[in-house]
Amino acid sequence: MAGAPQPAAAADDTASSGPPGYDAAAREPDGRPIADIDRMLLYVARVPDTQLGAYLRSRGWEVATAKSPHEATRLAKAEPTCAGIVDLTGFAARDLAGLEAVLRLQQVGWIALTDAKRLTDPEVRRLIRQYCFDYVHLPVAPATLDYLVGHAFGMVTLCDLDEAPAAASQDEDEMVGTCEAMQQLFRTIRKVANTDATVFISGESGTGKELTALAIHERSPRRKAPFVPINCGAIPHHLLQSELFGYERGAFTGANQRKIGRVEAANGGTLFLDEIGDLPMESQASLLRFLQEGKIERLGGHEQIPVDVRIISATHVDLEAAMRDGRFRADLFHRLCVLRVDEPPLRARGKDIEILAHHVLHKFKQDSARRIRGFTPDAIEAMYNYNWPGNVRELINRVRRAIVMAESKLISAEDLDLDQFTEQQTVTLAQAREAAEKRAIEAALLRHRHRLTEAATDLGISRVTLYRLMGTHGLRDEKTIFGGEAENQPDLPPEPEA
Ligand SMILES: Nc1ncnc2c1ncn2[C@@H]1O[C@H](COP(=O)(O)OP(=O)(O)OP(=O)(O)O)[C@@H](O)[C@H]1O
Ligand SMILES: [Mg+2]
């Protein structure tokens, strides 16, 4: 297999990603001068720069200007693909949620305009990271911007989803990812593949930990030797020891012949210890011994057998907590975690959600008798609103089921069983969470008449955290007692029924 990660479109590699032969003063691939071709450019700014607009028009861009996120969405939806300029300097913090909905639009390749002050806002930085191909500080030379939007346009054209999407490939094990978090992951994979150090992969369920382990192996000098996975959580504890290290004939009743364990089977290659957090203490001790000595001993055997394997381990549980609780040996963890890889959850991958959905559709569309062409706008919206607790695996399952269930050429939110996530929301998930958090804190404070210790206990957080959150939500006022004087607090009106 060819499991090496193949980024569908390298967001950090715009310089090589425009149409072949493209440069700012040159021609389109078919030889026509750039100025002869109208390419759509959406320019979103509170106060658009008319001179910039005029310059870009002279460079062959059909510029549509929008002064609000709402207007931008309307204009963009009418276009199959376009480049986009979003001037973040004029928009206030309260506009960012609306802008995020615009930036998410799959068919637009965005370049952000910003300044040093705006970049101090973490939300602005996140939007740029997640959704934009590049950003520039104002003031910017119009020619530079022309060049950048040219590349952004080239990138979205590559991702044209109704054509064979760039993200989709016949390669079974391709890893799809264009967002910054995935680009970072691909860079890490390339780096760690070249060493023999142990790698620890952490990430929620279904984020692609095994795929990453395989990609590391396939890119490493060990690629011709076996990649041996073992799921430590799926094997009964009493069998794990013999499964890992093997046994000699007669080692126990029923051991009629010698069995080679997984560690030995991986000799020369890579051993992937999945769900390492489920490894019982006994096996933790044996594994640690093996890591220290590079030798194994089969059960019932007396011979020390040298084995050369590279170990990659993964877990979706919090190993730090397991160590604190004494369920996982810290010395073993430090041996296993020389290099660490973190898999981003799907909900943090921006446009990749949609790209992955198309990738899966492309891969499995033959499962349907109909010729399914894509997703309805409400399906796309629901995919962005949904939290994806099962990550990529869940997305694959939902899309595959939808391919079978769909009754039209487009998969709807209902086919994905996500119809409850479709209402035209005016709030983002982050806002919804924030509102829910605020409501819970307010209720707890009311219940405990602003006695922080009790309210914090109810909420399962520390008093310091509660006090901080109250500041964030504007809930600190003269009623707030922080410092143990709560008992002196005058009685407040009884809480209303929640
Ligand atoms: N970036 C990606 N591009 C394409 N497919 C992916 C990607 N990440 C994961 N997948 C697919 O999603 C599924 C789940 O991936 P994988 O088994 O590697 O996840 P995991 O993190 O090991 O999950 P678990 O914690 O449940 O073991 C697999 O079918 C895998 O091929
Ligand atoms: Mg796994």
Q: What is the CATH number of the domain that holds 389?
A: 1.10.8.60
Q: State the closest ligand 1 atom to the C-alpha of 316, by its place in the atom list counted from 1.
A: 25
User: Taking 80 as the threshold, does the pLDDT of residue 21 lie above it?
Assistant: no
DSSP state for residue 311 in the 8-state scheme: E
Q: Whose CA is nearest to atom 18 of ligand 1?
A: 208
* CA 390 to centroid of ligand 1, rounded, Å: 10
Domain boundary among 92, 124, 158: 158
- Cα separations in angstroms, 185 against 4, 180, 302, 353, 453: 12, 9, 42, 16, 41
Q: State the closest ligand 1 atom to the C-alpha of 201, by its place in the atom list counted from 1.
A: 21
| 129 assigned to some structural domain | yes
Same domain (yes/no): 85, 129: yes
Same domain (yes/no): 192, 336: yes
Same domain (yes/no): 204, 334: yes
Same domain (yes/no): 78, 93: yes
CATH for 185: 3.40.50.300
DSSP helix/strand/coil, 307: coil
Q: Please give the residue range of the domain that contains residue 310.
A: 180-342
* CA 206 to centroid of ligand 1, rounded, Å: 5
Mean pLDDT of 253-258: 85
* Amino acid identity for residue 165 in this structure: P
| 164 assigned to some structural domain | no
Place of tokens 């910039």: 52
| 5 assigned to some structural domain | no
Confidence band for 173, pLDDT divided at 50, 70 and 90: low
**Dihedral angle, C-alpha 194, 198, 203, 205, nearest 10 °:** 100
Phi, psi of 133 (to 5 degrees): -75, -30
Domain boundary among 342, 371, 401: 342
User: Taking 70 as the threshold, does the pLDDT of residue 370 lie above it?
Assistant: yes
* Dist. CA 449–CA 52, nearest whole Å: 57
For strand 410-411 and strand 374-375, is the pairing parallel, antiparallel, or unpaired? parallel
* Dist. CA 346–CA 418, nearest whole Å: 16
Q: State the closest ligand 1 atom to the C-alpha of 392, by its place in the atom list counted from 1.
A: 12
| 409 assigned to some structural domain | yes
Q: What percent of the chain has pLDDT over 90?
A: 43
User: Taking 60 as the threshold, does the pLDDT of residue 498 lie above it?
Assistant: no
Same domain (yes/no): 312, 459: no
Mean pLDDT of 60-78: 87
Confidence band for 170, pLDDT divided at 50, 70 and 90: very low
* Dist. CA 46–CA 131, nearest whole Å: 19
Q: Indicate the helix (H) or strand (E) that contains 201.
A: strand 199-202
pLDDT, one tens digit per residue, over 179-222 is 888 888 988 998 999 899 999 998 889 999 999 999 999 989 99
Same domain (yes/no): 334, 363: no
pLDDT, residue 293, reads: 94
pLDDT, residue 334, reads: 94
| 3 assigned to some structural domain | no
Q: How many domains does the chain have?
A: 4
* CA 396 to centroid of ligand 1, rounded, Å: 9
Residue 250 region by backbone torsions, left for phi larger than 0, else alpha for psi between -120 and 50, else beta: left
- Could you tell me if 92 and 118 are in contact, meaning their C-beta atoms sit under 8 angstroms apart? no
* CA 272 to centroid of ligand 2, rounded, Å: 10
Q: State the closest ligand 1 atom to the C-alpha of 211, by its place in the atom list counted from 1.
A: 18
| 175 assigned to some structural domain | no
* CA 209 to centroid of ligand 1, rounded, Å: 6
Lowest-confidence pick of 283-292, 311-320, 431-440: 431-440
Instruction: Give the torsion sign (CA, 442, 125, 14, 75).
Output: positive
pLDDT, one tens digit per residue, over 282-293 is 889 989 999 999
**Ligand in closest contact with the CA of 230:** 2
**Ligand in closest contact with the CA of 201:** 1
Mean pLDDT of 420-449: 76
* Dist. CA 459–CA 449, nearest whole Å: 14
Same domain (yes/no): 402, 317: no
The β-bridge partners of 283 are none
Q: Whose CA is nearest to atom 2 of ligand 1?
A: 175
| 494 assigned to some structural domain | no
Confidence band for 318, pLDDT divided at 50, 70 and 90: confident
Q: Where are the alpha helices (DSSP H) in 347-474?
A: 352-364, 377-385, 391-405, 429-447, 452-459, 463-472
Mean pLDDT of 418-446: 78
**Pairwise pLDDT comparison (67 vs 491), residue with the higher score:** 67
| 286 assigned to some structural domain | yes
pTM: 0.58
**Among 200, 211, 278, 362, which residue has the most ligand 1 atoms within 8 Å of its CB, making it the best to mutate?**
211
Same domain (yes/no): 220, 280: yes
* CA 389 to centroid of ligand 2, rounded, Å: 15
* Dist. CA 357–CA 395, nearest whole Å: 7
Same domain (yes/no): 135, 196: no
pLDDT, residue 424, reads: 58
Same domain (yes/no): 235, 151: no
Q: Taking CB atoms and a 6 Å cutoff, what residues make up the pocket around ligand 1?
A: 175-177, 203, 205-211, 316, 392-393, 396
Q: State the closest ligand 1 atom to the C-alpha of 176, by its place in the atom list counted from 1.
A: 3
Mean pLDDT of 153-182: 62
CATH for 90: 3.40.50.2300
**Among 392, 398, 400, which residue has the most ligand 1 atoms within 8 Å of its CB, making it the best to mutate?**
392
- Could you tell me if 121 and 145 are in contact, meaning their C-beta atoms sit under 8 angstroms apart? no
* Dist. CA 365–CA 372, nearest whole Å: 7
* Dist. CA 349–CA 473, nearest whole Å: 27
Place of tokens 């297999």: 1
Lowest-confidence pick of 50-64, 144-158, 172-186, 206-220: 172-186
Lowest-confidence pick of 92-96, 139-143, 288-292: 92-96
CB-proximal residues (5 Å) to ion ligand 2:
209-210, 274
pLDDT, residue 17, reads: 33
- Cα separations in angstroms, 435 against 124, 153, 388: 20, 37, 20
pLDDT, residue 312, reads: 97
Same domain (yes/no): 218, 274: yes
Same domain (yes/no): 373, 409: yes
DSSP 81-135: SEEEEEETTS--GGGHHHHHHHHT-TTEEEEEEE-TTGGGSHHHHHHHHHHEEEE
Confidence band for 159, pLDDT divided at 50, 70 and 90: low
Q: Whose CA is nearest to atom 28 of ligand 1?
A: 393
Question: Helix 122-131 crosses helix 96-103 at what angle (to 10 degrees)?
Answer: 10
